[in-house]
Amino acid sequence: MGRSAAFFDLDKTVIAKSSALAFGRPFYRDGLITRRDVVKSAYAQLMFRLGGTDEQTMARTRDYLATLCKGWPVEQVRQIVAETLHELINPYVYAEAAALIEEHQAAGRDVVLVSASGEEMVRPIGELLGVTDVIATRMGVVEGRYSGEVEFYAAGPSKVDAVGELAGERDYDLADSYAYSDSYSDRPLLECVGHPSVVNPDRALRKLAAENSWPVLEFRHPIPLGRRLRERPAVPVAAAALGVGVGVAIGIAWYGRHRRTRAAAPTA
C-alpha cells in the first residue's frame, strides 16, 4: 500500500471563477490581449466547456491558447499574476474547498492542484492555498517569450497521464486517493482514483455522479484568506455535502462594459 493524495481541479472547484478569466482585465490593461481577442476567446472557452473530453475540441482549444500567448514576455505574465493575485483570486477561494484541503493535509495526504490553466497562474494560486504541488499547462518558452508551442496541455486524459506519472514518483496509491472537479471533462481524472467527488457539477457530471454513487458537494462561500483565518473554523465541508481554463473573454467583456458604464455616467 502506497501513500494517498488528493487531486483538486481549480476553476469553480477551489475558486469561484476561471483562473484564466480572472486575469483578463490586467492582461488587457497591459496590452497582452486586444478587443479582437474577446470573440475568439469566448468561442474557445465555450467549445472547451461544451466539448468536454472530445480530442478534436481540446486540440483546437490548445492550439488557440498557443496562438494567443505567442510572443508574450513570460516575466510580464508572472509579474501581472503576482501583483493582482490577492485582488483577483483571494476573495474567490471557496471556504469549503480551503477547509477540505486542510483536512487532507492534516490527514497526511499530499494535495495537488490539477488545472488546464497555465503554470504561471496555477502555481502562485497554490502557494496562496498552502499547496506546493501543481499539474498545469506548460507553454514553450524561447528567449523569455512564449514560443507558440504547448509543451503539455493539462486537460482531459492528459491530466490522468500526469497524475499517474506523479503517483509513480511519489508511490501514491490511486485506489486510496481522492479527486474533486466540477466539470464532465474531468471524468478521466475522477475515474482514476478510488474516492472521486464532484463539486458544483455541470449537468453531465451530476448525471455521471448519480450513476456511480459519487458524493456531490456544493461549495457556496468564497471568503478571502484574511477572513478565513479570523473566523476559523471555516464552513464545515460535511454541511456542504448533498448526496465546480482556457480563455479570457468574460473578464475582458466585463471590464469593457464596466469602463463604458463609468464613461456614460453623468458627472456631478
Alpha-carbon distance 238 to 240, whole Å? 5
User: CB count, 10 Å around CB of 196?
Assistant: 22
User: 17-26, 50-59, 180-189 — which one is most confidently predicted on average?
Assistant: 180-189
Is 9 considered catalytic here? yes
Residue 238's Cβ-count burial label (10 Å; 0-12, 13-18, 19+) is exposed
Enclosing H/E stretch for 8: strand 5-9
- Indicate the pTM of the whole model: 0.79
Least confident of 163-167, 194-198, 256-260: 256-260
Alpha-carbon distance 196 to 147, whole Å? 36
Instruction: Give pLDDT, residue 163.
Output: 97
* Domain 5-229 fold: Rossmann fold (3.40.50)
Which position has the higher pLDDT, 2 or 28? 28
Alpha-carbon distance 71 to 56, whole Å? 25
Instruction: Give pLDDT, residue 216.
Output: 98
Query: Is the pLDDT score of 18 beyond 60?
Result: yes
Is 173 considered catalytic here? no
Which position has the higher pLDDT, 66 or 14? 14
Instruction: Give pLDDT, residue 33.
Output: 81
What digits encode the pLDDT tens for the residues 38-48?
556 655 555 55
Find the catalytic residue in 11, 37, 182, 202: 11
Print the SS3 string covering 69-123. HCCCEHHHHHHHHHHHHHHHCHHHEEHHHHHHHHHHHHCCCEEEEEEEEEHHHHH
Query: Is the pLDDT score of 183 beyond 80?
Result: yes
Domain boundaries, the chain: 5-229
Which position has the higher pLDDT, 129 or 36? 129
Angle of helix 74-88 versus helix 119-129 axis, rounded to 10? 40
CB 15 within 8 A of CB 122: no
Query: Is the pLDDT score of 259 beyond 50?
Result: no
User: Cell 467527488 belongs to which residue?
Assistant: 197
Across the chain, what does the average pLDDT equal? Answer: 81
User: Cell 507558440 belongs to which residue?
Assistant: 148
Where does residue 171 fall: left (phi above 0), alpha (psi -120 to 50 degrees), or beta otherwise? Answer: left
E strands along 126-262, which residues?
133-142, 145-152, 178-181, 195-199, 216-217
Least confident of 81-85, 184-188, 224-228, 252-256: 252-256
Mean per-residue pLDDT for 87-93? Answer: 91
Find the catalytic residue in 9, 37, 110, 182: 9
